[in-house]
């Protein structure tokens, strides 16, 4: 089945799956856990975790998907001990160890891609492959170049225009949402500010450390990403990770898993096939 | 009751608001003419000096990257005032200490102003408005935690006199804190804290500092002062004196009601010119999650931030207790009404200059207030 439109993708997945809870040390996490087989760890970005997302359903046909909401996002409580991306990277390394997950396919989007990259530079022992979807986290230009648009200084409509190929499809009528849904939106924004405010969406040390990544790595980029481009930011990421491949997904912006879930999963399939993991 | 003359030192000579998106954070400073700005600085300092001559106290604040306020450093202007004034108390309300990277530097600056002025400093601490966060690149989350750690560090720096102490907190790190000069006043200058919500008033009440409300109107002010008093009662602390409570309003006193209203309408520039887009009014983490949810549902945001978005006519602000204006009798009655409604207060913070209210008009408003209204405010405390 091919789906090329996110709205129909959302409709297809309208049955809302239950969310589970897990605890890593003393940190409680809302988590989606679905499917059987090889572990697939999905780390969401600023957009948060949508349990109805079509790409998660597709991924769960290929293995056991584990997709947590980071502390402060979704319904995951704030955690006293977790307030940086560095903390998140240790949290999920600990999660993999606690579950004794092996040969994990680790995927992360945007802010979540940054977390995934921080994990892989620290320890790749439990990883089989790394897939970074429009990852943030590195400083590319000089000090006067704003690599990543300042979402906290732009009108929300402009942020959406930069991040989505089809911003209208992802406009949210907040007056039509429940208090719970609005709370999640507000928490996601607040948690993003906590993790990414300064240095802005990056760790000045990360770019140099990326050379330590020893697992096969695929970097996926929306071909119409106006927020952070493949030519500039994606190319710098690829150059920093030994052997990494960079592929673009056509007709998608900064969140290709939402705008082209089918193409994203297809690219992941192809990559895993190529590197025989 | 003490009355304080407060001016935001705005640069009002701007193009029409339709020509720019925001008066704060991003308005290019090519719109600012330093030659005109120099004259304005001197004019505003003259007005503070006239306030002192009239028997009023002096209040200064600070804001950043905005044409609404050209004092990005309250310490600098207060340093000048500390030298040229002789008797007025000098209130800075306040230092935005959740946004200052070096609280020890704040402790130094405030000690310096206190010594300069032979102990006339009243030192306010404020959280700072949401627009300051992008301007200074300050993280909007955990601000109050940062605020109180900064406060603790400043007070310890002021009150430690036996050589360096160590501070390795969550937000601030020093291994050798030992400020020179130390404050003139013992143990330190009086502390004021602005609170716009009952939740933030509780901690101020527990500490017994002066709590200041800014344009919070009848019910907002009553709720804040009530929370302050209730917290003290909960902790079995002595009832707070009236001098623990301050209310800031736009005030213009004329010889006649008409003259008073005309002056007050010019003061409304402060509210009407506050054109700011949503990304600066609601940075994530600044307002509680519940307020963000309420805002997304289309309901109005809280307090003064709502005003800035939806300016109203003068009479509405007067009805709500944000503006006291008219002839001396009218102004007295309005202040008395607020006083009675909120359980009394000991400080009236007069925002008496804004926008196109010129020097003569500003001075006239102060003079009529000082001559005809101020002496009567003592009756309030005697009656209560």
Question: Which of B288, B296, B297, B298 to mutate: most A Cβ within 10 Å?
Answer: B296
CA B368 and chain centroid, separation: 23
What is the chain B residue with the closest CA to A156?
B279
- Residue A25 vs residues A28, A41, A257, B184: alpha-carbon distances, Å: 8, 18, 30, 51
Among B44, B34, B65, B48, residue whose Cα is nearest residue B5: B48
d(CA A75, CA A29): 8
What is the chain A residue with the closest CA to B25?
A153
In angstroms, the separation between the Cα of residue A99 and the nearest Cα of chain B is 32
By the 8 A CB rule, do A136 and A114 touch?
yes
By the 8 A CB rule, do B351 and B249 touch?
yes
- Residue where the block lists tokens 């994530």: B284
Among A97, A138, A133, A109, residue whose Cα is nearest residue A121: A138
What is the chain B residue with the closest CA to A159?
B279
Provide, as residue numbers in chain B, all residues whose Cβ is less than 8 Å from the Cβ of A150: 134
What is the chain A residue with the closest CA to B141?
A194
**DSSP string of A264-277?**
HHHHHHHHHHHTT-
Among B1, B13, B117, residue whose Cα is nearest residue B358: B13
Provide, as residue numbers in chain B, all residues whose Cβ is less than 8 Å from the Cβ of A186: 284, 289, 292-293, 296
Q: Where are the domains of chain A?
A: 6-274
Provide, as residue numbers in chain A, all residues whose Cβ is less than 8 Å from the Cβ of B277: 155
Interface of A to B at Cβ within 8 Å reads 83, 150, 152-156, 174-175, 177, 179, 182-183, 185-187, 189-190, 192-194, 197-198
SS3 of A121, please? Answer: helix
d(CA A111, CA A113): 5
Provide, as residue numbers in chain B, all residues whose Cβ is less than 8 Å from the Cβ of A193: 139-141, 283-285
CATH code for position B312: 3.20.20.30
Number of domains in chain B: 1
Q: Do A197 and B297 touch (CB under 8 A)?
A: no
Question: Which of A80, A155, A193, A196 to mutate: most B Cβ within 10 Å?
Answer: A193
Across the beta sheet with A127-133, what order do the strands follow? A20-24, A27-34, A64-68, A39-43, A104-109, A127-133, A217-222, A245-249
How large is the ipTM? 0.93
- For residue B41, the surrounding DSSP H or E stretch is helix B34-53
Question: How does strand B90-96 pair with strand B57-60?
Answer: parallel
**For chain B, what percentages of helix, strand and coil (3-state, to nearest 5) are there?**
50, 15, 35
d(CA A116, CA A219): 12
Look up residue B318 and give its two tokens: 């007067």
Question: What are the pLDDT tens digits along chain B (384 aa)?
Answer: 999 999 999 999 998 888 888 999 999 999 999 999 999 999 999 999 999 999 999 999 999 999 999 999 999 999 999 999 999 999 999 999 999 999 999 999 999 999 999 999 999 999 999 999 999 999 999 999 999 999 999 999 999 999 999 999 999 999 999 999 999 999 999 999 999 899 999 999 999 999 999 999 999 999 999 999 999 999 999 999 999 999 999 999 999 999 999 999 999 999 988 889 989 999 999 999 998 998 888 865 556 667 777 778 999 999 999 999 999 999 999 999 999 999 999 999 999 999 999 999 999 999 999 999 999 999 888 776
Q: Do B296 and A156 touch (CB under 8 A)?
A: no
- Residue where the block lists tokens 């640069």: B11
Beta strands in chain A (DSSP E): 20-24, 27-34, 39-43, 64-68, 104-109, 127-133, 217-222, 245-249
Q: Do A190 and B141 touch (CB under 8 A)?
A: yes
CA B167 and chain centroid, separation: 29
CA B38 and chain centroid, separation: 23
SS3 of B182, please? Answer: coil
- Which CATH number does the domain A6-274 belong to among 3.40.50.1820, 3.40.50.2300, 1.10.10.10, 3.40.50.920? 3.40.50.1820
Provide, as residue numbers in chain A, all residues whose Cβ is less than 8 Å from the Cβ of B298: 174-175
Question: Which of A152, A177, A189 to mutate: most B Cβ within 10 Å?
Answer: A152
What is the chain B residue with the closest CA to A196?
B139
CA B310 and chain centroid, separation: 21
d(CA A134, CA B193): 44
What is the chain B residue with the closest CA to A192?
B284
Dihedral of CA atoms A39, A45, A51, A54 in degrees, nearest 10, equals -80
Beta bridge partners of A43: A108
Among A33, A73, A105, A35, residue whose Cα is nearest residue A195: A73
Question: How does strand A127-133 pair with strand A64-68?
Answer: unpaired
Q: Across the A/B interface, how many CB contacts are shorter than 8 Å? A: 64
Question: What are the pLDDT tens digits along chain A (277 aa)?
Answer: 333 344 444 444 445 566 899 999 999 999 999 999 999 999 999 999 999 999 999 999 999 999 999 999 999 999 999 999 999 999 999 999 999 999 999 999 999 999 999 999 999 999 999 999 999 999 999 999 999 999 999 999 999 999 999 999 998 888 899 999 999 999 999 999 999 999 999 999 999 999 999 999 999 999 999 999 999 999 999 999 999 999 999 999 999 999 999 999 999 999 999 987 7
Q: Do A194 and B285 touch (CB under 8 A)?
A: yes
What is the chain B residue with the closest CA to A189?
B284
Q: Would you state the pLDDT for residue B302?
A: 53
CA A251 and chain centroid, separation: 18
SS3 of A27, please? Answer: strand
Q: Do A194 and B26 touch (CB under 8 A)?
A: no
Provide, as residue numbers in chain B, all residues whose Cβ is less than 8 Å from the Cβ of A149: none
CA B223 and chain centroid, separation: 18
Question: Which of B293, B294, B295, B300 to mutate: most A Cβ within 10 Å?
Answer: B293
Among B60, B58, B43, residue whose Cα is nearest residue B88: B58
Beta bridge partners of B2: B347
By the 8 A CB rule, do A87 and A198 touch?
no
Question: How does strand B323-326 pair with strand B245-253?
Answer: parallel
Provide, as residue numbers in chain B, all residues whose Cβ is less than 8 Å from the Cβ of A182: 292-293, 296-297
Provide, as residue numbers in chain A, all residues whose Cβ is less than 8 Å from the Cβ of B289: 183, 186-187, 190
Look up residue B123 and give its two tokens: 């030192």
- Residue where the block lists tokens 């330590």: A212
**B24 DSSP assignment:** B
Dihedral of CA atoms B282, B283, B287, B289 in degrees, nearest 10, equals 100
Q: Do A152 and B25 touch (CB under 8 A)?
A: no
The residues, any chain, with a CB within 8 Å of residue B81's CB and separated by 6 or more, are: B45, B48, B58, B60, B90, B117
d(CA A137, CA A110): 8
d(CA B222, CA A145): 49
Q: Would you state the pLDDT for residue A37?
A: 96
Q: Would you state the pLDDT for residue B371?
A: 98
d(CA B350, CA B91): 12
Look up residue B128 and give its two tokens: 């700072």
Range of the domain at B135: 2-383
What is the chain A residue with the closest CA to B289?
A186
Interface of B to A at Cβ within 8 Å reads 25-26, 133-134, 137, 139-142, 277-280, 283-285, 289, 292-293, 296-298
Report the alpha-carbon angle A44-A166-B300, nearest 5.
Answer: 75
Provide, as residue numbers in chain A, all residues whose Cβ is less than 8 Å from the Cβ of B283: 152, 193
d(CA B158, CA A22): 47
Q: Do B298 and A150 touch (CB under 8 A)?
A: no
Report the alpha-carbon angle A33-A35-A38, nearest 5.
Answer: 100
């Amino acid at each position: 089945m091919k789906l090329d439109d996110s709205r129909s993708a959302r409709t297809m997945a309208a049955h809302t799956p239950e969310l589970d809870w897990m605890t890593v040390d003393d940190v409680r996490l809302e988590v989606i856990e679905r499917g059987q087989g090889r572990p697939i760890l999905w780390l969401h970005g600023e957009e948060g975790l949508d349990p109805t997302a079509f790409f998660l359903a597709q991924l769960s046909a290929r293995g056991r998907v584990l997709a947590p909401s980071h502390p402060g996002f979704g319904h995951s409580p704030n955690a006293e001990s977790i307030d940086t991306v560095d903390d998140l990277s240790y949290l999920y390394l600990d999660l993999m160890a606690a579950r004794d997950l092996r040969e994990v396919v680790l995927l992360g989007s945007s802010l979540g891609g940054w977390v995934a990259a921080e994990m892989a530079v620290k320890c790749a022992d439990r990883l089989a492959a790394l897939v970074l979807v429009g990852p943030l986290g590195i400083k590319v230009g000089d000090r006067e170049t704003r690599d990543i648009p300042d979402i906290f200084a732009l009108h929300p409509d402009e942020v959406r225009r930069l991040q989505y190929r089809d911003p209208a499809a992802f406009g949210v009528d907040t007056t039509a949402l429940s208090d719970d849904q609005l709370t999640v939106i507000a928490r996601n924004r607040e948690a993003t500010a906590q993790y990414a405010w300064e240095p802005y969406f990056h760790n000045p040390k990360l770019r140099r450390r990326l050379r330590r990544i020893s697992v096969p790595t695929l970097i996926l980029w929306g071909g119409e990403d106006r927020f952070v481009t493949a030519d500039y930011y994606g190319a710098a990421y690829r150059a920093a990770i030994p052997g990494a491949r960079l592929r673009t997904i056509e007709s998608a912006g900064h969140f290709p898993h939402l705008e082209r879930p089918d193409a994203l999963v297809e690219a992941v399939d192809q990559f895993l096939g190529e590197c025989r993991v | 009751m003490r009355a304080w003359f407060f001016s935001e030192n705005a640069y009002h000579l701007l193009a029409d608001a339709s020509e720019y998106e925001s008066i704060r954070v991003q308005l290019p400073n090519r719109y600012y003419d330093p030659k005109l700005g120099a004259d304005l600085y001197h004019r505003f300092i003259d007005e503070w000096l006239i306030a002192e001559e009239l028997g009023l106290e002096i209040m200064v604040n600070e804001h950043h990257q905005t044409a609404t306020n050209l004092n990005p450093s309250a310490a600098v202007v207060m340093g000048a005032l500390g030298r040229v004034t002789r008797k007025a108390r000098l209130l800075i309300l306040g230092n935005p200490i959740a946004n200052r990277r070096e609280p020890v530097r704040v402790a130094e600056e405030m000690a310096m102003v206190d010594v300069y002025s032979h102990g006339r400093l009243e030192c306010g601490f404020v959280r700072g408005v949401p627009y300051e966060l992008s301007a200074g690149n300050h993280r909007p989350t955990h601000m109050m935690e940062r605020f109180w750690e900064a406060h603790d560090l400043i007070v310890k720096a002021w009150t430690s006199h036996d050589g360096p102490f160590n501070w390795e907190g969550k937000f601030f790190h020093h291994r050798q804190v030992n400020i020179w000069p130390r404050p003139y006043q013992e143990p330190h200058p009086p502390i004021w804290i602005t609170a716009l919500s009952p939740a933030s008033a509780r901690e101020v009440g527990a500490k017994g500092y002066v709590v200041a409300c800014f344009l919070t109107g009848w019910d907002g002010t009553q709720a804040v002062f009530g929370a302050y008093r209730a917290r003290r009662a909960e902790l079995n602390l002595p009832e707070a004196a009236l001098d623990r409570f301050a209310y800031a309003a736009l005030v213009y006193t004329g010889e006649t009601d008409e003259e008073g209203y005309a002056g007050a309408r010019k003061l409304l520039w402060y509210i009407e010119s506050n054109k700011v887009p949503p990304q600066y009014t609601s940075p994530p983490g600044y307002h509680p999650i519940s307020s963000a949810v309420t805002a997304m549902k289309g309901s109005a945001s809280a307090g003064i931030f709502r005003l800035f978005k939806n300016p109203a006519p003068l009479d509405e602000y007067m009805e709500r207790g944000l503006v006291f204006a008219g002839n001396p009798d009218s102004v007295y009655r309005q202040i008395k009404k607020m006083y009675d409604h909120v359980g009394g207060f000991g400080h009236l913070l007069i925002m008496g200059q804004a926008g196109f209210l010129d020097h003569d008009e500003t001075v006239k408003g102060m003079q009529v207030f000082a001559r005809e209204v101020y002496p009567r405010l003592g009756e309030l405390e005697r009656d209560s």
